[in-house]
Amino acid sequence: MALTADKIFVNLPVKNMNASIDFFTNVGFAFNAQFTDENATCMIVSEHIYVMLLVESNFKSFIKKEIADTTRSTECILALSADSKEKVDEIVNKALSAGGTAYNEPVDHGFMYTWSFQDLDGHLWEFMYMDPSDIEQQG
């Protein structure tokens, strides 16, 4: 039987919790106050996707390796879907207005449109729209 999971909790280190909460609030995300204190917060991406933002000292308590220096390397790309190309643009523009930096220019593959940014800590976020009618034709 294949492994399945109901939810995903991505854990990311942040340098400044309040600045990160302000940034992601401006992008449009909400937070679960029940799982928020000075060391961590639970950002709600969807009913099944959560991002735990952990102050670096707290994040270090869970790992044996060094935290990736996101100014020099990439630990992952967090890719999330959006409902339309316009929504992709809206989300990325909000991130840029909130202090994020563009990582790539928008890319339109016809069936898929993507655009990405770096958050305040250098984590890469990519938003994408895939046209359902194009996907059906590809299959």
Q: Which domain holds residue 118?
A: 8-138
Q: Is 43 part of any domain?
A: yes
For the chain, give the mean pLDDT.
94
CATH of the domain at 87: 3.10.180.10
What is the rounded average pLDDT of the residues 58-69?
95
Q: Is 66 part of any domain?
A: yes
Q: Is 2 part of any domain?
A: no
- Whether 54 has a pLDDT exceeding 70, the answer reads yes
Q: Are 89 and 116 in contact (CB under 8 A)?
A: no
- What is the C-alpha to C-alpha distance for residues 128 and 107, in angstroms, rounded to an integer? 9
At position 27, the amino acid (one-letter code) is: V
Q: Is 104 part of any domain?
A: yes
Q: Is 115 part of any domain?
A: yes
Q: Is 78 part of any domain?
A: yes
- What's the pLDDT score for residue 134? 65
- What's the pLDDT score for residue 137? 54
Q: What is the pTM of this model?
A: 0.89
- Whether 139 has a pLDDT exceeding 60, the answer reads no
> Considering its fold, how many domains does the chain have in total?
1
- What's the pLDDT score for residue 100? 98
- Residue 128: which pLDDT band, with cuts at 50, 70 and 90? very high
- What is the C-alpha to C-alpha distance for residues 72 and 31, in angstroms, rounded to an integer? 29
- Whether 45 has a pLDDT exceeding 70, the answer reads yes
Return the sign of the alpha-carbon dihedral for residues 43, 23, 118, 94: positive
- Whether 136 has a pLDDT exceeding 70, the answer reads no
Q: Is 108 part of any domain?
A: yes
Name the strand (E) or helix (H) holding 12. strand 8-14
- Whether 38 has a pLDDT exceeding 90, the answer reads yes
Q: Is 1 part of any domain?
A: no
